[in-house]
Amino acid sequence: MKTTKKRIVLKIGSNTLTRESNHISRGKIEDIARQVAHLKDSYEFIIVSSGAIAAAKQFVNLESNGKEINVKQALASIGQLHLMRIYQENFRELGLLISQCLLSYSDFKSKTSKENIVNTINILLENDYIPIINENDTVATDEIKFGDNDKLAAMTADLLKADLLIIATNTDGIYTKDSMLNNDPKTIKEVVGFESLVKEVADEKSSHGTGGMKSKIDAVQIANAAGIETWIVNGLKENFITNAVLGNIPYTKISNKLN
C-alpha cells in the first residue's frame, strides 16, 4: 500500500554527530531519534550518516606508515560497527527499528544496482525500518577526502523520489555574501532555484574557507534539478528537525521552480 507520509532524506555529518568534538555524541543521536519518533506518523526518514571514522578514533589508533587514505579506510571499517551500535541502542529505546545500507557512487551508475537500492529501501520503509546509509568508505576514497556524504544524500534523495532533503550542518543555514563580508552572518531564509542561491551565497574567498559549504551547494544542485526541496539546518541545535518543520529556527530553504 502506498504511504501518504512525506519522505525525508536526512543527512547528518560528523560535525553534527560529534557536536564538533572528537567523539560521537550519544546525546545527539538520542536527539535525532526522539525527533524521528515524534514525526514518524507524518514523515518517513532515510538517514545518510557520516561518523564511522570519528567513531573508530574513540577506540583505536592505527599506524599509518605513510598510507593515510588506507588508514582512514580501515578506521571506517572499524568505526561503522560502533556507529551503528550507537544508533541501534538509542533508536531501539524509542521503539524505532534501523537497518544499515553501505553504498558507493558506482552503485548509482548501474541500472540494476539502482533498482536494487530502490526496491530494498522501499521494503525497509514499508516494514517500519529506518535505513541508515553511509558511503562504503572501505572501497571509496573520494568521500573521505571531499564529499562528506552531501552528494550521496542528494543522489539518494533523487533516486528514492524524496519530498525533502535536509542537510544538517554547523551553521544556521547558508549565509548571505554581504553578511559574511561584514563578519555578521545572516541566514538566507528562502530562495527559488539553484541559480538564485548561487547569486546569494558567499564565494570561496569570502566564506572563511568553509569547503564543506561547497559540497552542500553541489548537493543542492542535484536535488534542485530533481525537483526536491532542500533545507540547510543547524544540526548542533536540539530538536533541529522538529523546530525547522515548525519554522521556529533560522534555516535556508531552497525550493524548486516547479514546486
Q: What is the pLDDT of residue 63?
A: 74
Q: What is the pLDDT of residue 207?
A: 32
Is there a contact between 229 and 255 (Cβ–Cβ < 8 Å)?
Answer: yes
Superfamily name and number for 6-255: Acetylglutamate kinase-like (3.40.1160.10)
Q: What is the pLDDT of residue 256?
A: 78
Instruction: Give all strands of the β-sheet with 164-169 in edge-to-edge order.
Output: 97-103, 129-135, 43-49, 6-12, 164-169, 229-234, 252-255, 190-192
> Whole-angstrom Cα distance, residue 58 to residue 39?
31
Which 3-state string (H, E, C) describes 130-183?
EEEEEECCCCCCHHHHHHCCHHHHHHHHHHCCCCEEEEEECCCCCEEHHHHHCC
Q: What is the pLDDT of residue 168?
A: 96
Report CA-CA distances (Å) from 37 to 33, 50, 200, 240: 6, 21, 35, 14
Mean pLDDT, the chain cut into blocks of 10 residues (259 residues total): 83 93 94 98 96 88 74 89 96 98 88 97 98 82 61 95 96 85 86 79 41 78 94 96 96 78
Q: What is the pLDDT of residue 215?
A: 82
If phi over 0 gives left and psi between -120 and 50 gives alpha, with beta otherwise, what is residue 19?
Answer: left
Find the length of the chain. 259
Q: What is the pLDDT of residue 72?
A: 84
Residues forming beta bridges with residue 254, ordered by sequence position: 191, 230
Predicted structure pTM score: 0.89
Domain borders along the chain are 6-255
